Amino acid sequence: MNAPTKDSGLAWVGRAIRRVEDPALLAGHGRFTADLPAALRVRFVRSPVAAGRIERIAIPEGANVVTAADLAALKPIMPALHKFGYVPIAQPVLASGCVRFVGEPIAAAVAASEAQAEDIADAVSVDIAASAAVIDAGAALADGAPLVHAQAAGNLVVEGKVETAGFAAAQGAAHRLIAIELRSRRQNATPLEARAGHAAFDPVSGRVTLTCATQMPHLLRTAIADLIGMPEGELRVVAPDVGGGFGQKMSLVPEYVVLVWLARKLKSSVAWTEDRRENLIASFHSRDQSVRLQGAFAADAKLLALSAEVVANVGAYSCYPTTCAVEPLMAMAELPGPYDVRAYACVARGVLTNTCPMAPYRGVSRPVITTALERLMDAAAAEFGMEPVEIRRRNLIEKFPYTSVTGLIFDAGSYQQTLEIAAAAIDVPAFRRRQQQARSQRRYLGIGFAAFSERTGYGTPAFAARGMGVTLGWETVELAMDPSGWVEVRIGASPHGQGLRTTIAQLVADELGLAPDRIKVVHGDTDRTPYGWGTFASRSLVIAGGASVLAARKVRAKLKKIASHLMEAAADDIVLTDGVARVAGTDRALPIETLARAAYHQVHLFKGEIDPAICETATYDPPGTFSNACHACIVEVDPETGRVTIARFVVAEDAGRLVNPMIVDGQIVGGVAQGIGNALLEEIVYDEGGNILTATLADFLPPTSREMPPIELLHLETLDGTTITQAKGLGEGGAIGAPAAVLNAINDALAPFGVTIEEMPATPRRIRAALRQATKKPR
């Protein structure tokens, strides 16, 4: 069922064909938002303080500056969630009355050039009566802490609780109780293209086109039209080439609302290009979570019961559409991971602070909970005196479908097998010998594993269970063949680097018997594509790809019917292959373009039995599927400097059918790089007053080529028919597993010193601080 990569038996699916996206991007012909000319440029005036009341905004004479007073008719951003006591939080598009984080937009300066707009913004003077701010989640939860929003008592915006029946008894029966506390510090997703928006008014139609760096054009259209109170038909949203997103571009951006409002008011084109400092300070942040786990283990190291306490610092506002509850609640639902545990208790809190709002970032909570759970497994393995591989072997799920303790249904996967092949590839016994030898030379090597699941490609059932105001999930695809026999696939997903134009063309090519270069995938334009939810949550290939296949099958059926009329054969005997419709077992054949032309120009031949034209629509709304993987890595820690060097990194991954193995590998390696950044390097640091100390890329450190080890990739393909294409999502797995593998390896390396690191990033400073506490002298 899951032998390593095998022949799909299909002409195009499974082949590492080169991406159709590449030639334009390589030639410098990419079209990114900031490339568009605009009559007017905007610079936002942002709050320099974390909390306070706006007393006065002084605008230079004659300057065009917009404030909240101008936008009084606009509704605030207020996403809904109907569960777990979620407190609705309103965010005015521009700060109104008070400010709640450093970087919050207060005013928009408009001028003919960016430089002029910056000069005006600098000249706007804002008087703010600063008040006490809370920055850290622990401080925000303390008694008497200042409230970020008056209606959220104790700064608690959501509190999820779950406890299975008989939990205490299950825990009480344990042979050993093992606890771990993990903290993952704050990050910024840091797409290389920061946010950018361009809103242009068309005097003929009265419509506005908002071109912007977004992952969700349709939902953005709905949200902005709602806030402004304009008919949605008067707004077109275009996502052109988008320079990475990783979740940061999947939420509603208040600045874009201002741009649309300005374009309508000034009847002009208005653009804003975020600079990197703004992005690091005021675009969405991520992570900043603490997880306390207690595992109750039987004498044979089987996990009997798991309890968890999750605290997520969600910042000052709640992001649309997911709400800020997405992080703590996903942590609660998915914390038991791929382990067979039947007793579970969890409290997951979302805590408001005077910091930049949080939004989903590649992995959403799972990098943190996976690291916590995998640290627990390693801590338990050490207690039981067994190898990390052995304790995982005893606890990973192996019978499918598996219904988790939180009610998630795991479709077939290869949890045990990916563990075994990763362990074999990294050769644990040989490593242990090397580790011993190295220690005798005062060199400290460590090995770390991370076994995990990646929930992907889920539709409305999963989103409905979350209780959000917007139930996301399905995708609709419109597939048209024009009279020349060329195909256009219009999708609501909105890729921005994932190569979906290539992979969807591969899927459709096999259904229609055409080469992929005859199939053009159109995305990222609300005027040209059916309503859809965009690209995030490892969903697009599964859901938009599945819908594309369904639509292609309808077109295939129609082409066969046309061919049966034209060649006087039974439709069932027609085979579409290599661009030709053939009558099976004969030499009779017609090029597909002849069928296409007939569908438009020769309809009289069909005697009313076939409708004119070729355009089919299909929707796919799947329950969801789980990819799985095991990461294994070897590090060396220099105890003198605290420096960590990753020597090897193995990924054994199962994402079902690999539509394009080259793109799959690219997604995994890219995800691992971000996970390594999470584990070792990246941290947004606030001072006590709520100022960001890491406002440049010289302070906030994404990995470079120098920090990246070679990533060794192994694939299994479990094909059990859970999804239409047999493919599972895999965009986030790299980022989910890598932090745990790296942190476990560091702790294994530090074992001789008797200290542990339970905080990410595990910077040299933190490692040195831990080593200074060491009581043991290394052997």
Partner 1 sequence: MSERSDITLTINGRAHAIRVEPRRTLVDAIREDCGQTGTHIGCEHGVCGACTVLVDGEPVRSCLTLAVQAAGREIRTVEGLANGDELNPLQRAFMEHHGLQCGFCTPGFLMLVTGVLEREPDISDDDLVDVLSSNLCRCTGYQNIVKAVRAAAAQMRR
In the complex, the residues that contact partner 1 under the rule CB under 8 A are 18-19, 21-23, 25-30, 32, 34-35, 114-115, 119, 190-194, 241-244, 246, 273, 275-277, 496-499, 662-663, 665-666, 669-674, 696-698, 702-708, 710-711, 734
Residue 663 CB, nearest approach to partner 1 (Å)? 7
Q: Indicate the residue among 23 and 85 with the shorter CB distance to partner 1.
A: 23
Whole-angstrom distance, CA of residue 387 vs CA of residue 378 = 8
Cα–Cα separations (whole angstroms), residue 590 to 267, 574, 583, 603:
53, 10, 9, 16
Q: Indicate the residue among 129 and 192 with the shorter CB distance to partner 1.
A: 192
Phi then psi dihedrals of residue 126, to 5 deg: -115, 120
**Helix crossing, 500-512 with 540-567: angle to 10°?**
30
Q: Indicate the residue among 213 and 220 with the shorter CB distance to partner 1.
A: 213
Do 744 and 630 form a contact (C-beta atoms < 8 A)? no
Q: Indicate the residue among 696 and 775 with the shorter CB distance to partner 1.
A: 696
Determine the longest span between alpha carbons in the chain, in angstroms: 90
Q: Indicate the residue among 638 and 665 with the shorter CB distance to partner 1.
A: 665
Residue 401 CB, nearest approach to partner 1 (Å)? 33
- Helix-, strand-, coil-residue percentages of the chain, each rounded to 5: 30, 25, 40
DSSP 18: P
Nearest to 353 by CA among 138, 207, 124: 138
Cα–Cα separations (whole angstroms), residue 83 to 88, 326, 469:
11, 11, 10
Nearest to 629 by CA among 615, 659, 649: 649
Q: Indicate the residue among 48 and 666 with the shorter CB distance to partner 1.
A: 666
DSSP sequence for 194-229: --EEEEEEETTTTEEEEEE--S-HHHHHHHHHHHHT
Whole-angstrom distance, CA of residue 361 vs CA of residue 322 = 12
Residue 18 CB, nearest approach to partner 1 (Å)? 5
For 343, the 3-state DSSP assignment is strand
Question: Identity (one letter) of the amino acid at 184?
Answer: S
DSSP sequence for 448-490: EEEEEEEEE---HHHHHHHTBSS----EEEEEEE-TTS-EEEE
In sequence order, the β-bridge partners of residue 181 are 292
Residue 4 CB, nearest approach to partner 1 (Å)? 20
Q: Indicate the residue among 336 and 737 with the shorter CB distance to partner 1.
A: 737
Whole-angstrom distance, CA of residue 421 vs CA of residue 385 = 22
Whole-angstrom distance, CA of residue 557 vs CA of residue 719 = 25
Residue whose pair of structure tokens reads 């406890």 in the numeric block: 163
Q: Which residues contact 172 (CB under 8 A, 6 or more apart)?
A: none
Residue 296 CB, nearest approach to partner 1 (Å)? 38
Q: Indicate the residue among 150 and 698 with the shorter CB distance to partner 1.
A: 698
Residue 172 CB, nearest approach to partner 1 (Å)? 45
Residue 191 CB, nearest approach to partner 1 (Å)? 6
Q: Indicate the residue among 28 and 229 with the shorter CB distance to partner 1.
A: 28
Cα–Cα separations (whole angstroms), residue 79 to 131, 149, 450, 548, 620:
26, 15, 34, 31, 25
Residue 25 CB, nearest approach to partner 1 (Å)? 3
CA neighbours within 13 Å on the CB side: how many for 354? 29
Q: Indicate the residue among 182 and 711 with the shorter CB distance to partner 1.
A: 711
Q: Indicate the residue among 71 and 253 with the shorter CB distance to partner 1.
A: 253
Do 90 and 323 form a contact (C-beta atoms < 8 A)? no
Do 660 and 495 form a contact (C-beta atoms < 8 A)? no
Residue 457 CB, nearest approach to partner 1 (Å)? 20
Residue 193 CB, nearest approach to partner 1 (Å)? 5
Residue 266 CB, nearest approach to partner 1 (Å)? 20
DSSP sequence for 564-612: HHHHTS-GGGEEEETTEEEETTSS-EEEHHHHHHHHHH-GGGGTTSS-S
Residue whose pair of structure tokens reads 């900031």 in the numeric block: 34
Q: Indicate the residue among 312 and 711 with the shorter CB distance to partner 1.
A: 711
Q: Indicate the residue among 32 and 600 with the shorter CB distance to partner 1.
A: 32
Residue 686 CB, nearest approach to partner 1 (Å)? 20
Whole-angstrom distance, CA of residue 312 vs CA of residue 155 = 12
Q: Indicate the residue among 117 and 158 with the shorter CB distance to partner 1.
A: 117
For 290, the 3-state DSSP assignment is strand
Classify strands 444-456 and 409-410 as parallel, antiparallel or unpaired: unpaired
Nearest to 392 by CA among 365, 426, 420: 420
Residue 60 CB, nearest approach to partner 1 (Å)? 15
Whole-angstrom distance, CA of residue 549 vs CA of residue 263 = 39
Q: Indicate the residue among 27 and 73 with the shorter CB distance to partner 1.
A: 27
Q: Indicate the residue among 29 and 433 with the shorter CB distance to partner 1.
A: 29
Cα R_g (the chain), whole angstroms: 27
Q: Indicate the residue among 191 and 545 with the shorter CB distance to partner 1.
A: 191
Omega of the bond leading into 495 within 30 degrees of 0 (cis)? no
Residue 76 CB, nearest approach to partner 1 (Å)? 31
Nearest to 316 by CA among 291, 275, 282: 282
Structure tokens at 543: 């859901």
Q: Indicate the residue among 282 and 306 with the shorter CB distance to partner 1.
A: 282
